[in-house]
Structure 1
Amino acid sequence: MRHIEVHKTHRTGWLRAAVLGANDGIVSTASLILGVAAAGGSAASILVAGVAGLVAGAMSMAAGEYVSVSSQADTERSDLERERKELAADPAHEHAELTDIYVGRGLDKELASRVATQLMAHDALGAHGRDELGISETLAARPVQAALASAGTFAVGAALPLLTVLWAPESLLMYAVAGSSLLFLMLLGVLAGYTGGASVVTAAARVTFWGALAMGLTAGVGVLFGVTA
Structure 2
Amino acid sequence: MASNDTSLNQAKFVLPNNDLEQQETSTLEIETKDFDYTKRSQWLRAAVLGANDGLVSTASLMMGVGAVKQDIKAMILTGFAGLVAGACSMAIGEFVSVYSQLDIEVAQMKRNKESNEQENNEEVEIESLPNPLQAAAASALAFSVGAMVPLLAASFIRDYKVRLGVVVAAVTFALVIFGCLGSVLGKAPVLRSVMRILVGGWLAMAITFGLTRLIGYSGL
TM-score, normalised relative to structure 1: 0.72
Offset of residue 72 of structure 1: 1.1
Select the residue among 112, 136, 148 that pairs with 1:159.
148
1:57 has 2:47 as partner: no
Aligned AA (2:182): A
Name the counterpart of 2:60. 31
Instruction: Give the counterpart letter for 1:15 in structure 2.
Output: L
Q: Structure 1 residue 125: deviation in Å?
A: 6.1
User: Residues 37 and 46 of structure 1 are in contact (CA less than 8 Å); yes or no, is this contact kept in structure 2?
Assistant: yes
> Is 1:210 the equivalent of 2:200?
yes
Q: Provide structure 1 residue ranges, at least 5 long, that are not aligned to the other structure.
A: 92-119, 130-134
SS at match of 1:123: coil
Alignment partner, residue 110 of structure 1:
none
Alignment partner of 1:201 is 2:191? yes
Please give the alpha-carbon distance, in whole angstroms, between the structure 2 residues aligned to 1:153 and 1:195.
16
Q: Pick which of 211-220 and 12-21 moved more.
A: 12-21
Matched with 2:105 is 76
Aligned to 1:10: 39
Q: CA deviation at 1:7?
A: 5.7
Taking the aligned partners of 2:151 and 2:171, their CA distance within structure 1 comes to 10
1:179, distance to aligned residue in structure 2 (A): 2.4
Higher relative contact order (CA 8 A, sep 6+): 1
CA–CA distance in structure 1, aligned partners of residues 179 and 120 of structure 2: 40
Alpha-carbon contact 2:48-2:181 (below 8 Å) kept: no
Judge conservation of contact 1:8–1:197 (CA < 8 Å) in 2.
Answer: no
Unaligned runs of 5+ in 2: 1-24
**What corresponds to 1:108 in structure 2?**
none
Q: 1:146 aligns with which of 131, 135, 140?
A: 135
> Which residue, 154, 169, 172 being the options, matches 1:179?
169
**TM-score normalised per structure 2:** 0.75
Q: Structure 1: how far apart are the matches of 2:213 and 2:70?
A: 11
Q: Which amino acid aligns with 1:32?
A: L
Q: In the comparison of the two structures, how many residue pairs are matched? A: 189
State the structure with more CA Rg: 2
